[in-house]
Amino acid sequence: MRGGSHGATQPSRAGGLEASTFQLDRSHSRESMNKLVPFRSVLIFGGAGFVGSNLAYRILKTTDAKVHIFDNLSRRGVHHNLKWLQGVAGNSDRLKVTIGDVRDAALVQRAVQVATEIYHFAAQVAVTTSIADPVFDFEVNVRGTLNVLEAARKSDRRPFLLFTSTNKVYGSMASQRLVAAARRYSRAGDAGINELQPLDLHSPYGCSKGAADQYVRDYARTFDLPTVVFRMSCIAGPRQFGNEDQGWIAHFLYSALEDKPVTIYGDGRQVRDVLYVEDLVRAFETVRSRMEKTSGEVYNIGGGIENSTSILEIIELIDKVTGKKLHYEMERARAGDQLFYVTDFEKLRRDTGWQPRVNVRQTLENMYDWWKGNRELFPSVVLARPVVAARLQELPEVAS
Ligand SMILES: NC(=O)c1ccc[n+]([C@@H]2O[C@H](COP(=O)([O-])OP(=O)(O)OC[C@H]3O[C@@H](n4cnc5c(N)ncnc54)[C@H](O)[C@@H]3O)[C@@H](O)[C@H]2O)c1
- pLDDT tens, position by position, 202-230: 999 999 999 999 999 999 999 999 999 99
Per-residue pLDDT band for 189 (boundaries 50, 70, 90) equals confident
Is the CB of residue 130 below 6 angstroms from any atom belonging to ligand 1? Answer: no
**CB-based burial of residue 238 (10 Å sphere; 0-12 exposed, 13-18 middle, 19+ buried)?**
buried
pLDDT at 354 over 80: yes
For residue 347, how far is its CA from the centre of ligand 1 (angstroms)?
24
β-sheet with 117-120: strand ranges across: 95-99, 66-71, 41-45, 117-120, 160-166, 227-232, 297-301
**CB-based burial of residue 135 (10 Å sphere; 0-12 exposed, 13-18 middle, 19+ buried)?**
exposed
Pairing type for strands 185-187 and 178-180 reads: antiparallel
For residue 310, how far is its CA from the centre of ligand 1 (angstroms)?
24
- Ligand 1 pocket mutation, candidates 43, 44, 45, 51, criterion most atoms within 8 A of CB: 51
**Residue 323 to residue 262: CA distance in whole angstroms:** 17
Per-residue pLDDT band for 2 (boundaries 50, 70, 90) equals very low
Is the CB of residue 99 below 6 angstroms from any atom belonging to ligand 1? Answer: no
For residue 321, how far is its CA from the centre of ligand 1 (angstroms)?
27
Contacts of 306 (CB under 8 A, 6+ apart): 356, 359
Q: Of all protein residues, whose CA lies closest to atom 36 belonging to ligand 1? A: 75
pLDDT at 248 over 60: yes
Is the CB of residue 71 below 6 angstroms from any atom belonging to ligand 1? Answer: yes
Which atom of ligand 1 has the smallest separation from the CA of 209?
Answer: 43
For residue 45, how far is its CA from the centre of ligand 1 (angstroms)?
9
Q: Mean pLDDT across the stretch 294-323?
A: 98
Is the CB of residue 234 below 6 angstroms from any atom belonging to ligand 1? Answer: yes
Are the CB atoms for 236 and 277 separated by under 8 Å? Answer: yes
Mean pLDDT of the chain: 87
**Residue 240 to residue 348: CA distance in whole angstroms:** 25
Q: What is the pLDDT of residues 47-80, one digit of tens each?
A: 999 999 999 999 999 999 999 999 999 999 999 9
Are the CB atoms for 195 and 347 separated by under 8 Å? Answer: yes
Q: Mean pLDDT across the stretch 283-296?
A: 98
Are the CB atoms for 69 and 96 separated by under 8 Å? Answer: yes
Q: Of all protein residues, whose CA lies closest to atom 18 belonging to ligand 1? A: 49
Is the CB of residue 48 below 6 angstroms from any atom belonging to ligand 1? Answer: yes
Side-chain half-sphere exposure of 48, counting CA atoms within 13 A: 25
By three-state DSSP, how is residue 251 classified?
helix
Is the CB of residue 280 below 6 angstroms from any atom belonging to ligand 1? Answer: no
Contacts of 341 (CB under 8 A, 6+ apart): 167, 170, 173, 193, 233, 271, 272, 273
Per-residue pLDDT band for 382 (boundaries 50, 70, 90) equals low
- Ligand 1 pocket mutation, candidates 125, 276, 381, criterion most atoms within 8 A of CB: 125
For residue 34, how far is its CA from the centre of ligand 1 (angstroms)?
38
- Ligand 1 pocket mutation, candidates 44, 50, 148, criterion most atoms within 8 A of CB: 50
For residue 370, how far is its CA from the centre of ligand 1 (angstroms)?
20
Is the CB of residue 235 below 6 angstroms from any atom belonging to ligand 1? Answer: yes
Are the CB atoms for 325 and 319 separated by under 8 Å? Answer: yes
Per-residue pLDDT band for 16 (boundaries 50, 70, 90) equals very low
pLDDT at 338 over 60: yes
For residue 46, how far is its CA from the centre of ligand 1 (angstroms)?
6
Domains of the chain with bracketed CATH? 38-386 (3.40.50.720)
Is the CB of residue 72 below 6 angstroms from any atom belonging to ligand 1? Answer: yes
Are the CB atoms for 67 and 37 separated by under 8 Å? Answer: no
By three-state DSSP, how is residue 324 classified?
coil
Single-letter residue type at 110: R
Comparing CA positions, the residue from 121, 368, 172 lying closest to residue 255 is 368
The set of catalytic residues is 205
Which region among 31-35, 92-96, 290-294, 371-375 has the lowest average model confidence (pLDDT)? 31-35
Is the CB of residue 140 below 6 angstroms from any atom belonging to ligand 1? Answer: yes
Is the CB of residue 210 below 6 angstroms from any atom belonging to ligand 1? Answer: no
